[in-house]
Each structure stands twice: as C-alpha cells, then as structure tokens.
Structure 1
Amino acid sequence: MSIRIVLADDHKMILAALRSLLEKENDIAVVGDAADGTALLELVERTAPDIAVVDIGMPGINGIEATRRLLAARPLLKVIALSAYTDKRFVLEMMEAGARGYLVKASAGEELPRAIRTIAQGQTYLSPEVAGAVVDEARGHGSIAGHAPAKLGPRERQVLTLLADGNSSSEIGAQLHISVSTVEVHRRNIMRKLNLHGIAELTKYAIREGLTSP
C-alpha cells in the first residue's frame, strides 16, 4: 500500500518539483497539494493522508501554526517540515508543534523520499544541517522556553501573522469573524507581551520567528 502524501508550499515551482520527484516512487502517492495554510487544513480534512509535507513560511496560517491545528484534529497524521531556514529556533518550534521531521529545502530533492519512508515507519528524520539543534536541546544546552511565540495565545498568533502580512484591522476582523475593536485589543496585547512598538517591529518579529514570509 502506498504512503499517502499531501504537499504544502506557497511556491508553485517547488510544489511541481516535489510532486514530480515523488511520483517516480512506487510506494508514495501524492494525493493533493496546497499553497497556503488554510488550503492545507481543508486538503487534509478531505484526503486524510498519512503524511503532510509542510513549508514553514506559508502566507496566512504559517506552517508551524498549521501543524499545531492539523495534529490537534488528526493526532495520527505525521508532519514533515520543509524550510529554507536552518536556524535553531525554527527547527525547535516546528518539532514542538509536533512535526516528525525537518528538511532543508536545498537538500529536499535527495532526502524527501527517504524522510517519508523513515517517518512512515514511526521514526524521526532531520536534515544533517539541523540535527545538531535538536541534539543540543535534548542535552539541555538550549531551549526555546520563554521564547516569545509561546507567550501568545492561538488567536494572538493569528492576528500577528495577518498584521505582518499587511492586513488592516477591518480585514483581519472579517477573516477571523471578530470585531475591529477586538482586533485592536489583540494588537495592543501582542505589542505589550512582546515589548514591540509599531507595525514595522511586529513585521520584523513575525519574519524572524517564521510566522510570515519576508
């Protein structure tokens, strides 16, 4: 029986390349792809795959938040993070969200089929470029405890991501089905909790933390 896979990345060329790569594998079946986090959530609900390969830097609902939501709804789903980032904080955030693997995009072409098979067997797979970060964490040499995203609630993370993507308070309210005044309350709370001042700082912070793409 083939391993059922969905792919999520906001770059069409990357999606096409990954699909082409995996379609050459007899034991792997790509059952769908998505260009953003919202579409990914809907795709997984519709197709019930075994593994989701998820880009961290997607617009709207980023890969970290999407992983949290996916695994809350489908605990048996396995997630492989796909990212251009090798920074420790991105690796640890994604693994804490529940991902079973983390692949660096530069090496995904040769590693992805192997990672999928490894994770389908219940193991973990990390690109060599990022494996050290997880080893250090396990040894107690590093931690993202107290890392700012953990201070924010799920709704605040949503608002922060949408703000950083350039949405106005009214646009955010419409997307999240909340009032403009509620959006403003979330904005103030986010700035207070993160000790940030203004949308420029919020945007820089969101990019640095992988909540939105540069």
Structure 2
Amino acid sequence: MSHIRLLIVEDHALVRAGMKALLQKVEGIQVVADMGDGLEAVKFVQMEAPDLVLMDIAMPGLNGLDATSRIVKESSTTRVILLSMYANEEYLSQALQVGASGYLLKGAELAELELAIKTVSRGETYLTPAVAKYAVEAYRNKSGAPSSPLTRLSGRQREILQLIAEGQTTKDIAYRLNLSVKTVETHRSQLMERLEIHDVPGLVRFAMRVGLIQPDF
C-alpha cells in the first residue's frame, strides 16, 4: 500500500513536533516535511507535491487560508486540511471558500486526525462535527457556504490586512510583497472601505475576530 505523503505546517514548534511524532506512528502516513511558514509551504508544494497538507490557519506572514488558496490553485493533486482552535462559522466559511478539503480542531484526538487524513486522501471532504452543522444549515438555506465579511476582500487585500494587523508599516508591507508604497496604500484604502472600518485598531480587532491573527496573552 502506498503511503499518504503529508506536510505539516504549524508555526508553534512544539505543537508541530508533537503532531509529527504522533503521525509517524500511524500506518499508511509518511510525514515528508514539517515547517512553520505558509510561504515556505507553498514553495514546498510547488517542488515536492505532497498528497496532503495539514495546515494551521493562524500563522504570521502568510496565514493558512491564503497559503491554502495558493496551493489549491497551483496543485491539482495536493489537498489541504486546515487546523483551527475555533469551531465557528467564520472560519469554516473561509476554509471552504479557499478550497480546503478538511477542517479540524486542534483539540481533536489522534483517531479523528487519522480519520480526517484518510478521508481527504480518498478525495472526500472532512469537517469536524463541531462545525459540520454550519455547512448543513447553509445547504438547507440554499445559500452555499456560510458568508463571511472577508469575502469582500481580494486575496491581496487579505494579505495586507493581516500584515497591518501584525504591526507592519506601509513601507515594510510594500517591500515584503514587492509592491509600490502607492499600491499598498490603495489596497489599504479599498479594504477599509469594503469592511467599513476606517482606523488601524479597528482593523486589528477585525483580524483577531476572523482569525487572521491571534491575540497576545
């Protein structure tokens, strides 16, 4: 039997090491790499094309949602399961819209993690029971995936929103994304208009609420 070639992407080193240690004991799964950066994950998939990526949603720089979007668009064979601490409609909506094949809570037992991986590797979708109810409700309402304020933003605007919320200056963002300062300022103005939020503290609170960044405790 061929192994499921799995990439783990999680920015907390201890959590990542724990997942790797657990999954290496599961028959039929081969952990080919692990890393803590969404952009590096995109590059790895481009070069190595693993069967499946286990991806944390909330990561600095390039978050799991935008990394998933890039991976799904660029690879027809690699599927993604998103990991989250939260069982809410907002996160599920975004996970489905960027093309994730699975949504799993970080508190899941190993048995559920194994089930999710093997379900998705067969070409099916796995939603942890705590969020599956939202998908059912959306289907019953014939409204498709649950709606989210983030759907008002383009992928680039979402990236810039995250970097603003992480405290980076316009100049820093322009350098990181290889854009002009004027282009970043335009995106910033447009995303504020679309979200109807007109100050940076408001953007930070919004980014925390939808899971683009995590609050510091």
Q: Report the TM-score, using the length of structure 1 for normalisation.
A: 0.94
CA distance in 2, matches of 1:99, 1:172: 27
Q: Is the 8 A contact 2:8 2:34 kept in 1?
A: yes
49-58 or 189-198, which deviates more: 189-198
CA distance in 1, matches of 2:155, 2:80: 19
1:108, distance to aligned residue in structure 2 (A): 4.5
Corresponding residue of 1:76: 77
**Which residues of structure 2 form unaligned runs of 5+?**
none
Instruction: String of CA shifts for 1:27-47, please: whole Å, max 9, x gaps.
Output: 100011121211111121222
Q: Is the 8 A contact 1:31 1:47 kept in 2?
A: no
Corresponding residue of 1:173: 174
Q: Is the 8 A contact 2:102 2:116 kept in 1?
A: yes
Corresponding residue of 1:34: 35
CA distance in 1, matches of 2:97, 2:153: 15
- 1:19 partner SS: helix
1:204, distance to aligned residue in structure 2 (A): 0.9
What letter is aligned with 1:204?
A: R
Corresponding residue of 2:44: 43
1:52, distance to aligned residue in structure 2 (A): 0.5
Tell me: CA distance 1:108–1:66, structure 2 relative to 1, closer, same or farther (3 Å).
Answer: farther
**Identical aligned pairs, as a percentage?**
37
* 1:112 is aligned to 2:113: yes
* 1:199 is aligned to 2:200: yes
CA distance in 2, matches of 1:100, 1:182: 33
| RMSD, aligned CA | 1.5
What letter is aligned with 1:94?
A: A
What letter is aligned with 1:153?
A: S
CA distance in 1, matches of 2:146, 2:113: 27
CA distance in 2, matches of 1:205, 1:141: 27
CA distance in 2, matches of 1:15, 1:108: 15
178-187 or 27-36, which deviates more: 178-187
CA distance in 1, matches of 2:110, 2:85: 13
Tell me: CA distance 1:158–1:47, structure 2 relative to 1, closer, same or farther (3 Å).
Answer: same
**Which residues of structure 1 form unaligned runs of 5+?**
none
What letter is aligned with 2:31?
A: V
Aligned length: 213
1:144, distance to aligned residue in structure 2 (A): 3.6
* 1:63 is aligned to 2:64: yes
Corresponding residue of 1:150: 151
